Amino acid sequence: MSPKRPSIRRRELLAGVAGLTAASASAGCLGLGVGGSGPAPGTDDSTDWPERGNGPAGRSYAPDALAPRSGTSQRWATEVPWITDRPVVAEGLVLLPTAGPLVAYDTESGDEVWRYTPEVEGQPWFHSPAVRDGTVFATFREARGLAALSVEDGSVQWRADVGPVSAPPLPVEDGSVPYVFVGDRRGRLTLLDDEGDSEWTYDLFGEVTTLHAPDRGLGQRAYVGTSAGEVYAMYDDGGSPRGLWRRKLGGKVLSMAIDRGGDAYVSTFGGPTVRLRGGAHAGRTDWSNARSGTLQEGLCAVDGRVYGANLATLDALDTHEGKTAWTVDVGNDVDFTCGPVAAGDTLYVGRSGAVDGYKLGGGVGVGGTRLEARRFRHGVEGSPAGIAVADGALFAAVESSDGPSRLLALDPA
């Protein structure tokens, strides 16, 4: 479903204020983050981004990470195979999923360190991997499986045939014992132990599209979204699958993020963004925001706001009531293509021909407009397909329709 374009009158207004609009969640200036001055700039240049959404909860936020704020300088750029998902960063490596191999690049130099290609017919088509305690969990769509690799050299520790995998893996722990959830196109959820053996499988309704877990020390627990518009809260009950709750939404589940209280923010195709309760009254819809449209490539949850992009607009929603706090509109000529992700006090999103950095608070609110929301723009040849923030840099995987795809490492200017 195509996102709704602004009217001519609204476009004229957007052009007059550098392409920014605001739909305020309350009266007055909303330039600050919820609850005061908002997040502080990150300063740590040794952080990782070990999963597609940074962690099991999928909030896509690294609060302490040093990253570009006012501009960028290019650390390196390297040509890469056809990109199929977001990169992840761990233990000095950028792991890039492609249609052929999973490739590991050195974060400092951009040199290739290793690559893994399973022995299968056709193209594996990797999802974003997940890294936990020196192990890379890699799922691949056409090869019907998951491999546990050494992050040091890419050697195979074990491999499991769990069917036509349709989402990135979800590693969890029960005490010190690691497990991993895997979902597939048949609607089957599988829990594997640390040797790749199946603990159990559970049949859901629809292809698994998202897999996340609350980060409150709850062991083997997963929130699962499907193509049939269902969200399940599942857990392991002594070696057997159990459901906590199940919720039917209006369309295919595209993205999800879970806050620290266990509430889930979910975007559906052609439908609203909703907040589902995770504590008391678990699974109940707390609010629904249809104005935001289809927030597709991923959600980012930070400091009382949840952020998403729907091709034409970048939206910030207030997590308490679900109202739109601010919006950035790129008009008819370009599209938002990936993100958003955040580090410190800055939000990053890919658009046709550029990677943009925005203030998490949305800039300064004056009447019905937003000013000075964008911190910087880094031009690229192509469309960013995935962003990660780690190791003091912003890593952007960029697809090109008329040239080679590239992986970029961008330092603060």
| pLDDT given for residue 191 in this prediction | 96
Tens of pLDDT, residues 27-36: 233 333 333 4
151 vs 177, more confident? 151
Query: What average pLDDT does this structure show over 39-62?
Result: 96
Which of 28-42, 251-265, 276-290 shows the lowest per-residue confidence on average (mean pLDDT)?
28-42
| pLDDT given for residue 180 in this prediction | 95
Q: Are 242 and 261 in contact (CB under 8 A)?
A: no
| pLDDT given for residue 218 in this prediction | 58
| pLDDT given for residue 216 in this prediction | 64
Torsion of CA 307, 389, 102, 172, to 10 degrees: -70
Which of 14-18, 93-97, 225-229 shows the lowest per-residue confidence on average (mean pLDDT)?
14-18
Give 366's pLDDT tier (boundaries 50, 70, 90): low
* Structure tokens belonging to residue 118: 């399973």
| pLDDT given for residue 219 in this prediction | 62
Tens of pLDDT, residues 388-402: 999 999 999 999 988
Tens of pLDDT, residues 302-350: 989 999 998 888 999 999 999 998 888 877 677 899 989 999 999 999 9
Query: What average pLDDT does this structure show over 78-93?
Result: 97
295-314 as b/e, with b when 16 or more CB fall inside 10 Å? bbbbbbbbbbbbbbbbbbbb
* DSSP classification of residue 185: T
104-139 as b/e, with b when 16 or more CB fall inside 10 Å? bbebeebeebbebbbeeeebbbbbbbbbbeebbbbb
- Coil, strand or helix at 29: coil
Which of 8-17, 39-48, 294-303, 314-323 shows the lowest per-residue confidence on average (mean pLDDT)?
8-17
| pLDDT given for residue 296 in this prediction | 75
**Best-predicted range by mean pLDDT among 191-205, 273-287, 295-309?**
191-205
Tens of pLDDT, residues 108-157: 999 999 999 998 777 889 999 999 999 999 999 876 789 999 999 999 99
The answer to whether domain 8-412 has CATH 3.40.50.1220 is no
Write the CB contacts of 387 (distance below 8 Å, at least 6 apart in sequence). Answer: 86, 338, 339, 341, 348, 349, 350, 355, 394, 395, 396, 397
* Structure tokens belonging to residue 100: 């052929």
Write the CB contacts of 217 (distance below 8 Å, at least 6 apart in sequence). Answer: none
- pTM of the predicted protein model: 0.89
Mean pLDDT of the chain: 87
Query: What average pLDDT does this structure show over 360-384?
Result: 81
> Over pLDDT 70: what percentage of the chain?
87
Of 103, 124, 125, which Cα lies nearest the Cα of 115?
103
Q: Are 381 and 363 in contact (CB under 8 A)?
A: no
Query: What average pLDDT does this structure show over 280-306?
Result: 87
Q: Are 80 and 98 in contact (CB under 8 A)?
A: yes
| pLDDT given for residue 217 in this prediction | 58
SS (HEC) of 30-84: CCCCCCCCCCCCCCECCCCECCCCCCCCCCCEECCECCCCCCEEEEEEEEECCEC
Query: What average pLDDT does this structure show over 77-100?
Result: 97
- Coil, strand or helix at 261: coil
Domain ranges of the chain: 8-412
Query: What average pLDDT does this structure show over 363-382?
Result: 78
Over 50: is that where the pLDDT of 291 sits? yes
Write the CB contacts of 350 (distance below 8 Å, at least 6 apart in sequence). Answer: 336, 337, 338, 339, 356, 383, 384, 385, 386, 387, 396, 398
Which of 6-20, 246-260, 341-355 shows the lowest per-residue confidence on average (mean pLDDT)?
6-20
Which of 22-26, 295-299, 348-352 shows the lowest per-residue confidence on average (mean pLDDT)?
22-26
